[in-house]
Structure formats: structure tokens, C-alpha cells
């Protein structure tokens, strides 16, 4: 649950914040320009000391969707058990947000995973490489326009035979 | 001209003797990547006891093995590792592809899973099942033993003929169904 005071504080501090609630989970939509400031505010002023997750949703072909990507930050406070979900909507061609690594070291690998799977750039990330897929992979396969059966990446290997003595 | 041999002497061919030795002391390399690996462990454990067929010496160094059991799905990041391990095994060597995933990719027809290791490695025995029962794996080992006894040669000629008989499978992916790439701003309220 998110403390209503957190929402009030966010709304008074930043412009363009909208919130919604579903089954006890609060979702806060943050404009891309202020995401870093919002994260910093929540960490320093509201006691959200734990970044639980960074992930992404591709809304291509999604009914009633206005934006392509929804970047999701899940924050938690270990003192008050408070939780909040932040969402930043991104559209092509400018898919970049400031990195959260200066705030939480744990954002490092999560941002690398989002980059690997969705191709969202995190500006200021110390080491933005692929984390799961091979380095020579060229696509971002969790995007909805990536074909289910691959683009031939699975076949770029030599075929081995037994040594014929 | 008949040669007088004592009663306790058996005459055979050297090929057949060597194959008899080979087939009864297969040293498996367990390449277990998924749930098939659990069944592979069960096969080697006391109830099913792969030792009855002389294949109980699981070695984790490929240089000491002559039978690779690929148990589980192989992703494309793992395939170079698999190929290197295969190349490190001394000749003669055999390969069992255990389970649906190793043989065909199984249900994982995705961007990252290799659709059957036989596209990139020579495979001697396929074990169907998801995962196969230990009895099925034992059956595959027995069948492989029969094959080694029947076709094996000291010079490894059988691998040559097999390479000639089975040409490489055409490495073609299924046609890609293209989804029209969405514009930056998606149209409001459309259900594609």
C-alpha cells in the first residue's frame, strides 16, 4: 500500500503526475523529464530506500494504448513497508531515460536487462551492455514487433561433424 | 587346413572385440541443462542403476568421456559451450539427445532456444519424452550399445559412412510473420 501522503507530496512537488489505484496497488505516472527527480525525492524525502524492480511493458497493438513503452519502477520502503509503482511512458524514436544507478547501485543490472530486452537507453549508466543475450545479438526480442520464431540468430553456428579418421 | 585350438579359446574379429569393450564401458558426459537432467540423475542413481550397463562413470571432464548425454534445452548462448565440450571429447564418441527440447526444441520455439542440437552436432540416439523416464534413457543406452557392436569399426569408418549418408539438414528458419511496425504514437482506441 502507498501512503496517501506520499501521493500528495509528489503531486505538490512535481507537475504532470497522475495516479490510479487497482487492487490496492498505486500506480503513479511520471513524465519522463522528471523521473530522476521523482526517484530522488522518494528516496531522500519519503524513505523509499529499496528499488525492488525496473521493468518495461511494450504496448504495441494494445487496446486503447497511447504510448509505445511503459517503463516501470517498483519502489519499497523497508521502514514502513510502503510500496509505490512508478511508470514512465516512452515513444520512439527517443527511448532514453536517466539512469537510476547514482541513486541505487542495484539498478545497474536491472537497467541492463531492460536495455537487452526492450532497447531502452539509460543515460549515464556506467556499463550499458547486454546482460542475458549474446553480445552479437542485434535485436531486442521482448518488443512486440519481434517475430516469435527469431530472425535467424539461432542458426549462426558452425555445424560440427565427427573427425573422420 | 584346420588349426587346432583348445576348447577354452574363442576366435573373433579384432573389430568386434574392440566394440565389445567400448560398448560395455561408455563413460557419459552429463550435459544437463534442465529437468531432463533430474531424470538423468535418477537413471544413474540406485533404483535404475545405469551401472548395470557399464555407463555409470559420469565424468565432468569431457576429455575422459566418450558419450555425451545432452539433457535439456540448449539456448544459443550455450551452444558454443556445447560444441566446445563435444570437440574436447576424444574419438570415438557418441551423443544421446535426451528429451524433446534437446532433440527438437520442444515447446520452446523462441528466439533463444536452439531447435534441436542435431542441427549443429552429430546425434546417434534420440530419446523422446518430456522428460523421458529413466527406463527410456536406459533403452537408448542399450540401443546405442547394439549400434556400437553392430556398426563400430576400429578405424572409425562408420562415422565416415554416416557423414556421407546423412547430409546436413537445411538450416532454414520458418518464414517470419511480419507485424506492421507501430508508429511512435499509436492510434487511439484501435484493436489490431
CB contact under 8 A, A154 and B111: yes
B129 domain-assigned: yes
Q: What confidence category does residue A118 fall into, taking pLDDT thresholds of 50, 70 and 90?
A: very high
What digits encode the pLDDT tens for the residues B46-92?
999 999 998 989 989 999 999 999 999 999 889 999 999 999 998 88
B65 domain-assigned: yes
Cβ neighbours of A146 in B, within 8 Å? 111
- Average pLDDT over chain B reads 83
B159 → closest Cβ in A68, A145, A162: A162
Q: Collapsing DSSP states into helix, strand and coil, what is residue B76?
A: coil
Report the pLDDT value the prediction gives residue B187, as an integer from 0 to 100: 44
Q: What confidence category does residue A114 fall into, taking pLDDT thresholds of 50, 70 and 90?
A: very high
Mutating which of A62, A162, A164 best tests the B interface, going by the most B Cβ atoms within 10 A? A162
Section A147-157 average pLDDT: 74
Section B20-42 average pLDDT: 92
Continuous segment of H or E residues that includes residue A19: strand A18-22
For A4-108, CATH gives 3.30.460.80
Residue of B nearest to A157 (CA): B120
Section A48-61 average pLDDT: 92
B90 and chain A: CB distance < 8 Å anywhere? no
Report the pLDDT value the prediction gives residue B43, as an integer from 0 to 100: 93
pLDDT at A98 over 90: yes
Section A55-78 average pLDDT: 91
What is the percent of chain B where pLDDT is above 70?
83
Sign of the CA dihedral with B173 first, then B178, B183, and B189 last: negative
- Average pLDDT over chain A reads 88
A165 and chain B: CB distance < 8 Å anywhere? yes
Other C-beta atoms closer than 10 Å to the C-beta of A149 total: 16
B152 domain-assigned: yes
CA within 13 Å, CB half, B26: 29
What digits encode the pLDDT tens for the residues B140-158?
999 999 999 988 888 777 7
Q: By the 8 A CB rule, do B89 and B29 touch?
A: yes
Residue of B nearest to A135 (CA): B77
Report the pLDDT value the prediction gives residue B167, as an integer from 0 to 100: 54
Section B104-127 average pLDDT: 88
B164 and chain A: CB distance < 8 Å anywhere? no
Sign of the CA dihedral with A16 first, then A22, A26, and A27 last: negative
Report the pLDDT value the prediction gives residue B189, as an integer from 0 to 100: 43
Peptide bond into B128 cis (omega under 30): no
CB contact under 8 A, A162 and B114: no
Report the pLDDT value the prediction gives residue A52, as an integer from 0 to 100: 93
Beta-carbon contacts of A165 under 8 Å, excluding residues fewer than 6 positions away, are B91, B155, B156, B159
Cβ neighbours of A160 in B, within 8 Å? 83, 86-87, 120-122
Residue of A nearest to B121 (CA): A160
Residues 29 to 88 of A: which have CB under 8 A from any B CB? 59-68
Query: ipTM of this model?
Result: 0.76
Q: Domain residues for B142?
A: 27-160
State how far the Cα of A99 lies from the Cα of A112, in Å rounded to an integer.
10
What is the percent of chain A where pLDDT is above 70?
97
Report the pLDDT value the prediction gives residue A75, as an integer from 0 to 100: 92
A136 and chain B: CB distance < 8 Å anywhere? no
pLDDT at A2 over 70: yes
CB contact under 8 A, A160 and B87: yes
We report the CATH number of the domain holding residue B87 as 3.40.50.12280
A154 and chain B: CB distance < 8 Å anywhere? yes
Provide the number of structural domains found in chain B.
1
B58 domain-assigned: yes
pLDDT at B185 over 70: no
B14 domain-assigned: no
Amino acid at each position: 500500500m502507498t501512503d496517501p501522503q506520499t501521493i500528495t507530496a509528489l503531486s505538490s512537488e512535481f507537475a504532470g503526475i497522475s495516479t490510479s489505484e487497482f487492487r490496492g496497488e498505486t500506480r503513479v505516472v511520471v513524465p519522463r523529464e522528471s523521473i530522476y527527480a521523482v526517484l530522488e525525492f522518494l528516496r531522500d524525502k519519503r524513505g523509499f530506500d529499496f528499488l525492488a524492480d525496473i521493468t518495461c511493458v511494450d504496448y504495441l497493438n494494445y487496446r486503447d494504448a497511447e504510448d509505445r513503452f511503459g517503463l516501470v519502477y517498483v519502489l519499497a520502503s523497508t521502514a514502513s513497508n510502503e510500496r509505490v509503482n512508478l511508470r514512465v511512458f516512452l515513444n520512439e524514436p527517443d527511448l532514453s531515460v536517466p539512469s537510476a544507478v547514482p541513486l541505487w547501485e542495484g539498478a545497474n543490472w536491472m537497467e541492463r536487462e531492460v536495455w537487452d530486452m526492450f532497447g531502452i537507453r539509460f543515460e549515464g549508466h556506467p556499463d550499458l551492455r547486454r546482460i542475458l543475450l549474446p553480445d552479437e545479438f542485434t535485436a531486442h526480442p521482448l518488443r512486440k514487433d519481434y517475430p516469435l520464431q527469431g530472425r535467424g540468430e539461432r542458426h549462426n553456428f558452425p555445424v560440427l561433424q565427427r573427425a573422420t579418421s | 587346413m584346420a588349426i587346432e585350438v583348445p576348447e577354452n579359446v574363442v576366435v573373433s574379429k579384432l573389430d568386434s572385440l574392440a566394440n565389445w569393450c567400448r560398448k560395455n564401458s561408455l563413460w557419459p558426459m552429463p550435459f544437463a541443462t534442465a529437468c531432463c537432467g533430474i531424470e538423468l540423475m535418477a537413471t544413474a542413481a540406485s533404483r535404475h542403476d545405469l551401472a548395470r550397463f557399464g555407463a555409470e562413470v559420469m565424468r565432468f571432464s569431457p576429455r575422459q568421456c566418450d558419450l555425451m548425454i545432452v539433457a535439456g534445452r540448449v539456448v544459443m548462448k550455450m551452444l558454443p559451450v556445447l560444441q566446445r565440450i563435444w570437440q574436447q571429447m576424444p574419438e570415438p564418441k557418441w551423443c544421446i539427445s535426451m528429451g524433446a527440447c534437446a532433440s527438437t526444441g520442444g515447446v520452446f520455439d523462441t528466439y533463444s532456444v536452439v531447435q534441436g542440437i542435431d542441427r549443429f552436432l552429430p546425434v546417434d540416439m534420440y530419446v523422446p519424452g518430456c522428460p523421458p523416464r529413466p527406463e527410456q534413457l536406459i533403452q537408448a543406452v542399450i540401443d546405442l550399445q547394439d549400434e556400437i557392436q553392430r556398426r563400430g569399426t576400429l578405424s572409425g569408418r562408420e562415422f565416415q559412412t554416416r557423414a556421407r549418408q546423412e547430409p546436413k539438414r537445411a538450416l532454414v528458419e520458418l518464414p517470419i510473420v511480419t507485424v506492421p511496425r507501430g508508429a511512435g504514437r499509436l492510434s487511439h482506441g484501435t484493436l489490431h
